[in-house]
Amino acid sequence: MPVSQSQIDQINALVRARYPLYNFVHPETIIVNATIPANTPAGVQTNSAILVNGSTFSSFPIPQSQVWVITDMYITSLNADPQDAQITFMKNGIKPLLVSAPLSANVVTNNSRPGIPAPLLYEPNSSLQLPAAPIVTSGTTTVTDTFLISVTIYDASYATQ
């Protein structure tokens, strides 16, 4: 079940209370490429490529002037040769916040897709990693699945004190 409006309202109130100068709010859709190499055993994580502002990161550093709240994940379609995987939403390389449902369950046209069950908060100077792990041992070819994450960015870059 995707994030509800009441959950969004609660996280919005929390961010505004903790970070009162982070008052420029804008939504972003971030593209992520999860590449599963050939013959990867089930459950073995590989780094995903997070595309932000034209650059690619395996670990994206949240700027000091921003708070990121992830509210959804989805894929637009399955590859012709999909390698079903689960994504772990990591913070600072050590703290797993969520292990997603399989990518195949998160196709945007699936009316019952699980998405993100609760908002995921990434504070200033934290980092975001999204390793992918195949559900079963991958086949003999490398497969890349592209998925998207919806992020609300609270930004203090424009704050006046």
Q: What is the pLDDT of residues 3-30, one digit of tens each?
A: 888 999 999 999 999 999 898 899 999 9
For range 134-145, the mean pLDDT: 89
For range 76-101, the mean pLDDT: 88
The whole-number pLDDT of residue 132 equals: 96
pLDDT > 60? residue 44: yes
Secondary structure of 108-136 in HEC code, one letter for each residue: CCCCCCCCCCCCEEECCCCEEECCEEECC
Residues 6+ apart with CB under 8 A from 26: 152, 153, 155
Question: What are the boundaries of each domain within the chain?
Answer: 5-155
The whole-number pLDDT of residue 73 equals: 95
pTM: 0.92
The matching CATH number, chosen from 1.20.120, 2.60.40, 2.60.120, 2.30.30, for 5-155 is 2.60.120
Helical ranges in the chain per DSSP H: 5-18
